[in-house]
């Protein structure tokens, strides 16, 4: 079975919006539904159901760690990329005199936590152009927080430059994990906040945060709970459990974890290396074809996002929807954006080029 | 159809553990499954699916507000009681010299956030016996944070005394909302953190936080994101959206919201007033019958929890599981606890009494 045929959505439309929410495979629905039924029918009750939930969470942490190139003890299960960003920005000891450096192509899910750190803790926030971040760190810069892949343009951060800059580095990997090939050791970042529901085709409400083993004790959990503790009977002593699991956003419901795992299985069956090669390759081809047709394509990198200018991006994305394509406009920019995955077909991309107003 | 017959779990076991995770009605599974299928099949895609998600979230906020006796603008959609507790304790401006008063019967989900406030912000935490909290506030007490209903014993807080004490009051309502009759106006609390998956029979990963309209601006969001903002295009200005929705824990997935709503529908169809009357009445009868049989029942209030002493509570709860009853032991206490809902049957409670070791 081809990768594409695993996803029911492609029987209806040319879905090119994984950068918002990924398509989900049929088997993920089946897995989630089985877990919903299991919980409601009471086949497992009480302790047994809780153990099932913990078992799926442990498997998910291992799988996410493998995808990141990290150890399971370095991965927290979150509900969204934004959760991971907040865990890092809110969890670091930052205050007046400390600066966080960021770029001008960031998502509100990274900017809002930075604004909160400024308003509440007196942290300085400095914004520079996306491709100047690595060189812009100064003596007060304690943290660089920026996208691995820009959600506006698909440009890829100069991660080697960021790693060499000196301050701690938090990458917003919403458009990175599951989209492009990397591992966190090679990136040499300290923190990597990723999404589960985009390129990994998991459910809304899933995400992963990498915290390097040397960095775990630099973060205080911003929302500790039962699951953060080594011994819940001594909660007031705040003896935190080992590893990044202390930063988990609660315990993922078993239907959420099962969905995420089933989607990872589908990608793994297609060959994760192939998935991570084919998506960016198809995106590069789409970008070239749009440019050849006279479109102004945003400067981009080796990623799965292709943004191009339109006179009225919102109207153009609506028009394309009417033609059977799900793309999106990016408010505040001149762009319409297509998210191209390994599941995309050459034929649909050719049709998109042919259909796009020039 | 009787309320009890809506819940498949009762066809298998005598489930008496809603204080951990509530039973869920068949219709909730159906509703959640329909939303999972809808997302994966792509019947709604892109903007349409996001609008569906927002619509269900708005309905859920309205329903939760009605149950709390609050305005929808005073309710945040969280993932757990602990989320709400963290939003309040982490969100208030508290520091050295400020004291939080709590009780000796609190859940780790309240104690861990208090411990974090002490370790990170220098807040003092003072613990007093559960029934002495209202009278124990001192001049440094800025916040009283304690259970509405004790998860250990089922005792009910002296909410009139708490309201008269002076400091801000946060109630941990994990064993309150959906279990006993109240409204937040009568309680005169400032903050009420509740669970969705216990007495309201919603999914794991659901919860509600009441923040009185006069208190919303006293809290800074601890994990702001896209949904916290009035205008995501001006994220760095941190212009927060109106109402308690700024404290939402992300956007609830549509299958989670649909499950929660369907469960509320089942309770509403049985008559919420009747539900809130019958559960505590059955629990009181169980407590009386256990005491009459010679058990030492923990001092309790007009609630749905019944705890009684056992020589080895863990072994006793396992033994009862073997007899077809799902109850739980409470680590660190001498108690086995039964959670009695409006869905419980008199017959099963009589059997529980007959089966319990004395």
Q: If you search the block for the tokens 């506006």, which residue do you land on? A: A152
- For residues A136 and A213, membership in a common domain is answered with yes
Report the pLDDT value the prediction gives residue A46, as an integer from 0 to 100: 79
- For residues A107 and A221, membership in a common domain is answered with yes
Q: A15: helix, coil or strand?
A: strand
Half-sphere exposure of B57 (CA within 13 A, CB side): 21
- For residues A250 and A209, membership in a common domain is answered with yes
Mutate to test the interface with A, among B43, B83, B100, B111 (most CBs of A within 10 A): B111
Report the pLDDT value the prediction gives residue A358, as an integer from 0 to 100: 62
> Taking a contact as any Cβ pair under 8 Å apart, which residues of chain B between 183 and 212 contact chain A?
203-205
- The residues facing B229 across adjacent strands are B240
- For residues B147 and B81, membership in a common domain is answered with yes
Report the pLDDT value the prediction gives residue B44, as an integer from 0 to 100: 74
The CATH number of whichever domain residue A37 belongs to comes to 3.40.640.10
- For residues B172 and B247, membership in a common domain is answered with yes
**Of B67, B273, B280, nearest to B155 (Cα)?**
B280
Answer yes or no: are the C-beta atoms of A53 and A35 closer than 8 Å: no
Number of A–B residue contacts, CB under 8 Å:
240
Answer yes or no: are the C-beta atoms of A28 and A201 closer than 8 Å: yes
Q: Which chain A residues are within 8 Å of B43, Cβ to Cβ? A: 12
- For residues A115 and A227, membership in a common domain is answered with yes
- DSSP conformational letter for B287: H
Q: Which chain A residues are within 8 Å of B27, Cβ to Cβ? A: none
Last residue of a domain, which of A242, A267, A292?
A267
Put simply, whether B46 touches A (Cβ < 8 Å) is yes
- For residues A186 and A296, membership in a common domain is answered with no
Q: CA B170 to CA B88: how far, in whole Å?
A: 8
**Of A41, A232, A38, A46, nearest to B328 (Cα)?**
A46
User: pTM score > 0.80 for this model?
Assistant: yes
- For residues B15 and B42, membership in a common domain is answered with no
Report the pLDDT value the prediction gives residue A70, as an integer from 0 to 100: 98
Q: How many other β-carbons are positioned within 10 Å of the β-carbon of residue B314?
A: 13
Averaged pLDDT, B241-247: 97
- A108 and B226 in contact by Cβ < 8 A? yes
Averaged pLDDT, B166-179: 98
Report the pLDDT value the prediction gives residue B46, as an integer from 0 to 100: 78
Nearest Cα of chain A lies from the Cα of B184 at a distance, in angstroms, of 24
Segments of chain A with pLDDT less than 50: none
For A16-46, where are the alpha helices, taking DSSP H only? 26-41
- For residues A69 and A136, membership in a common domain is answered with yes
Condensed to tens digits (0 to 9), the pLDDT of residues B318-342 reads: 999 999 999 999 999 999 999 999 9
Q: Does residue B276 carry a pLDDT above 80?
A: yes
- For residues A43 and A58, membership in a common domain is answered with yes
Q: Which domain holds residue A94?
A: 29-267
Q: Which chain B residues are within 8 Å of A20, Cβ to Cβ? A: 46, 50
> Taking a contact as any Cβ pair under 8 Å apart, which residues of chain A between 109 and 168 contact chain B?
109, 111-116, 118-120, 125, 127
Helix B26-41 to helix B254-270 angle, to the nearest 10 degrees?
A: 150
The mean of the pLDDT values for chain B is 97
| Domain tally, chain B | 2
Averaged pLDDT, B79-84: 98
Last residue of a domain, which of A226, A249, A267?
A267
Q: If you search the block for the tokens 């945060």, which residue do you land on? A: A209
Q: If you search the block for the tokens 């709860």, which residue do you land on? A: B317
Last residue of a domain, which of A250, A267, A284?
A267
* DSSP per residue, A246-294: GG--SPPPHHHHHHHHHHHHHHHHH-HHHHHHHHHHHHHHHHHHHHHTT
Element of type H or E holding B246: none
Nearest Cα of chain B lies from the Cα of A29 at a distance, in angstroms, of 6
- For residues A57 and A206, membership in a common domain is answered with yes
The CATH number of whichever domain residue A290 belongs to comes to 3.90.1150.10
Q: Does residue B358 carry a pLDDT above 70?
A: no
- For residues B316 and B234, membership in a common domain is answered with no
Report the pLDDT value the prediction gives residue B42, as an integer from 0 to 100: 82
Q: What percentage of chain B has pLDDT greater than the value 70?
A: 99
How large is the ipTM? 0.97
């Amino acid at each position: 079975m081809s990768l594409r045929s695993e996803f029911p959505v492609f029987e209806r439309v040319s879905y090119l919006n994984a950068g918002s929410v990924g398509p989900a495979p049929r088997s993920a629905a089946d897995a989630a539904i089985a877990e919903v039924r299991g919980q409601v029918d009471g086949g497992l009750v009480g302790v047994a159901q809780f153990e099932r939930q913990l078992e799926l969470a442990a498997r998910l942490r291992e799988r996410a760690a493998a995808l990141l190139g990290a150890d399971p003890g370095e991965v927290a299960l979150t509900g969204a990329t934004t959760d991971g960003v907040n865990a890092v920005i809110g969890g670091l000891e930052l205050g007046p005199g400390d600066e966080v450096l960021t770029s001008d192509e960031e998502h509100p899910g990274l900017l809002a936590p930075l604004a909160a750190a400024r308003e509440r803790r007196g942290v300085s926030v400095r914004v520079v152009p996306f491709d100047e971040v690595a060189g812009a760190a100064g003596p007060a810069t304690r943290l660089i927080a920026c996208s691995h892949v820009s959600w506006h343009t698909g440009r890829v951060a100069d991660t080697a430059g960021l790693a060499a800059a000196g301050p701690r580095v938090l990458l917003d990997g919403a458009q990175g994990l599951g989209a492009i090939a990397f591992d966190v050791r090679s990136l040499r970042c300290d923190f990597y906040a990723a999404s589960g529901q985009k390129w990994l085709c998991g459910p809304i409400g899933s995400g992963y945060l990498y915290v390097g083993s040397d960095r775990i004790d630099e973060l205080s959990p911003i929302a500790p709970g039962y699951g953060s503790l080594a011994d819940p009977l001594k909660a007031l002593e705040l003896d935190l459990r080992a590893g990044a699991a202390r930063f988990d956003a609660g315990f993922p419901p078993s239907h959420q974890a099962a969905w995420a795992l089933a989607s990872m299985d589908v990608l793994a069956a297609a060959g994760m290396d192939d998935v991570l090669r084919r998506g960016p390759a198809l995106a590069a081809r789409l970008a070239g074809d749009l440019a050849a047709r006279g479109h102004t394509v945003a400067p981009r990198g080796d990623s799965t996002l292709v943004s191009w200018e339109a006179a009225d991006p919102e109207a153009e994305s609506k028009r394309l929807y009417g033609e059977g394509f799900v793309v999106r406009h990016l408010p505040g920019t001149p762009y319409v954006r297509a998210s191209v995955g390994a599941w995309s077909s050459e034929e649909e991309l050719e049709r998109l080029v042919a259909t796009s107003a020039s």
